[in-house]
Amino acid sequence: MVSRLLRKPLTWVTVAVLGAGAAFGLYWFQPWKAVTDTRVAERLAPVAESAPPTAGPPTTGDAGPATPTAPAGPALVSRGDFVTHEHDTSGTARIVRAPDGSHRLELVGLATSNGPDLRVWLSDQPVRTGRDGWGVFDDGRWVELGRLKGNRGDQGYDIPAGTDLAALTSVSIWCKRFAVSFGAAALAPAG
């Protein structure tokens, strides 16, 4: 019976289609990532909980008015704690301004699930809890900062110069392949 089936071309076509389907399914869903972690331990900026003033002390006499000066070290611009969406997610997101004026998003103590195509997005969408927040981050403006470096630990992402940080008030760990947020943080101004 089995040898008769193996001699039919339809059997081999069926086996080939099933094999190709299984290979595609493994590539697309990458189920092993559900049970593996990628840990990252990047050095984060040493910042105080509030941003230092950017203007120097007032001057007296002939020196003229005070001029703004750059902070001596990194300054915390905004921060927020992650909420869970599609997968359990915790940790803190913060935007840090360097003394040269550049900005960097830092994920502190991130813990989420691994996924097949995870990205870090700044977005103009509000963070909603529960299922209502899963798919909103691609509805408005967003800036992709790169692939998620790891689903556990501390990591940083440079923010492109000219990015409107006043309009982009949330961070999402976004699964691009399935258009869903694993978790997100609303960014509130520091201070």
Structure tokens at 27: 């590539």
For residues 191 and 180, give the distance between their C-alpha atoms in angstroms, rounded to a whole number: 32
Backbone φ/ψ region at 143: left (φ over 0), alpha (ψ -120 to 50), beta:
beta
Annotate 33-47 with DSSP letters as a single string.
GGG---EEEPPPP--
Other Cβ atoms within 10 Å of 49 Cβ, number: 9
Residues of the chain with pLDDT below 50 are 28, 51-61
* Class of residue 107 by CB neighbours under 10 A (exposed 0-12, middle 13-18, buried 19+): buried
User: Do 77 and 25 fall into the same domain?
Assistant: no
pLDDT of residue 152: 97
pLDDT of residue 60: 47
98 domain residue, yes or no: yes
| CB of 128 closer than 8 Å to CB of 106 | no
User: Do 91 and 128 fall into the same domain?
Assistant: yes
User: Do 73 and 27 fall into the same domain?
Assistant: no
pLDDT of residue 29: 56
User: Do 171 and 154 fall into the same domain?
Assistant: yes
Structure tokens at 25: 């399914």
pLDDT of residue 130: 87
Backbone φ/ψ region at 130: left (φ over 0), alpha (ψ -120 to 50), beta:
left
Domain with residue 96: its CATH number is: 2.60.40
pLDDT of residue 55: 43
Backbone φ/ψ region at 8: left (φ over 0), alpha (ψ -120 to 50), beta:
beta
In 3D, which of 78, 75, 79 has the Cα closest to residue 52?
75
User: Do 154 and 132 fall into the same domain?
Assistant: yes
Which pairing describes strands 152-159 and 39-41: parallel, antiparallel, or unpaired?
A: parallel
pLDDT of residue 57: 45
Query: CA separation (Å) from 170 to 22, 37, 105?
Result: 37, 24, 11
58 domain residue, yes or no: no
User: Do 23 and 41 fall into the same domain?
Assistant: no
